[in-house]
Amino acid sequence: MSGRYIVVFKDSATPEQIEQYANDVHKNGGAVLNRYDSVLKGFAATIPQSFLQSLQGSDLIDYVEPDGVVTTQ
């Protein structure tokens, strides 16, 4: 799933801050695909490489990892 990432925020991030990052993803050519707010704070999104480094450097973000398919056997 090239270009798709899961962005997880630190517990200290407010809903408004998370929404601002989601808007920034859109403004930079990406798209938020799913939002998470129960078990963790974050979203899954397509994120252009040109904006990915900016996200990864944020103090509010715990981690960014590639999205993928998980299967069980």
Residue 73 falls inside a structural domain:
no
Per residue in 35-58, pLDDT (tens digit) is 999 889 999 999 999 899 988 889
First to last CA, the chain: 21
Token output for 12? 């200290």
Looking at residue 62, the DSSP 8-state letter turns out to be E
Residue 18 falls inside a structural domain:
yes
Q: Give the model's pLDDT for residue 29.
A: 95
Residue 26 falls inside a structural domain:
yes
Helices (H), 28-69: 49-56
Where in the sequence is the domain holding 37, given as residue range(s)? 4-66
Tokens 């050519």 appear where?
Answer: 29
CATH (domain of 12):
3.30.70.80
Residue 16 falls inside a structural domain:
yes
Q: Give the model's pLDDT for residue 68.
A: 81
Residue 15 falls inside a structural domain:
yes
What whole-number distance in Å separates Cα of residue 22 and Cα of residue 38? 17
Work out how many domains the chain is built from and give that number: 1
Q: Give the model's pLDDT for residue 59.
A: 95
Q: Give the model's pLDDT for residue 69.
A: 78
Residue 72 falls inside a structural domain:
no
